[in-house]
Structure 1
Amino acid sequence: MRKVEKDRIKILATGNKTLSGFTIIEILVAFFILAIAALAFSSLITDSSRSINLIEERFLANNIAENLALKNLVKDDYLTSSQYDEGEETFLGMPFIWERELATSVERNRIEIEIKVFSENGDLLGKSKVFKEVFAQ
């Protein structure tokens, strides 16, 4: 017999455990640590995707608010309209609700136009405020 086989037979016969692998406890602990790491990574991905959607909604809402504020700034019929107005806009397939408030300041000859944009469930997502100087004629 070769020397390696003799040594192996000797180890098996004496019960010496110099040639052992991982125990079941070590394997279970390794799987547990791996599962915790996978769960943390999954939670991170979920939170990131929620944040991306919220940031996208806020970005679009702020664009709507700025666009509506600029439209109100350049048109002249806002003086005859009511102090408060509301409506709906669809931007890139997403519905938004907007509100416009006018505040006049006679001593300063200006009109404050504030636009607020909300989601469908009423969360404030964006707003814009502009001032227009009004000259007496």
Structure 2
Amino acid sequence: MRAEQGFTLLEMLVALAVLSLGALALLNLAGESTRQATAVEDRFFAGVVAENEAVEALTAPVAPALGEEGGEASLGGQTWRWTRAVSRTTDPGVLLIDVRVAPRGGRTAGEVTVFRGVP
């Protein structure tokens, strides 16, 4: 009668395969978490730039001209491109102001729409 102790080679290979799959899943999860954190940070900074541009349009002594205008702003160690579109509404005393912000060379990451009265 022989006493068996330990694992067979096949059992060790299966255990290593399962452990490897688990480690790969954790590495992928960590990478995805980093990508999501970066995306959330970009949306936050883009929103701040959009709000700043909207506030400038609202508080300027003279209402902004109709049409589209653009520029750049630096925030969070990054350069952001913004566009501000001013259009009329059905009420002649109110302007619609849309501000969109994107990282340089990227797609829109933040957007704000405000209304301004015209005296």
- Separation in structure 1 between the aligned mates of residue 49 and residue 98 of structure 2, nearest angstrom: 12
Higher relative contact order (CA 8 A, sep 6+): 2
One-letter amino acid matched to 2:16: F
Cα drift, residue 82 of structure 1: 5.2
CA contact (8 A) 2:46 2:101 kept: yes
Gap runs ≥5 in structure 1: 1-15
Gap runs ≥5 in structure 2: none
Q: Of Structure 1 and Structure 2, which has the larger fraction of its residues in helix?
A: 1
- Separation in structure 1 between the aligned mates of residue 30 and residue 106 of structure 2, nearest angstrom: 27
Structure 2 counterpart of 1:24: 9
One-letter amino acid matched to 1:98: W
Matched, 1:101 2:85: yes
Structure 2 counterpart of 1:13: none
Across the aligned residues of Structure 1 and Structure 2, the Cα RMSD in angstroms comes to 1.5
- Separation in structure 2 between the aligned mates of residue 17 and residue 35 of structure 1, nearest angstrom: 33
| Percent of paired sites with the same residue | 29
Matched, 1:71 2:56: yes
Given the alignment, which residue of 38, 43, 65 partners 2:23? 38
Normalised to the residue count of structure 2, the TM-score between the two structures is: 0.92
Where in structure 2 are the equivalents of 1:1-137 lying within 5 Å?
Answer: 16-79=1-64, 81=65, 83-105=67-89, 107-135=91-119
Cα drift, residue 20 of structure 1: 2.7
Aligned residues: 119
Cα drift, residue 107 of structure 1: 3.6
Secondary structure of the structure 2 residue equivalent to 1:77: coil
Whichever of the two has the greater Rg, that structure is 1
Secondary structure of the structure 2 residue equivalent to 1:72: helix
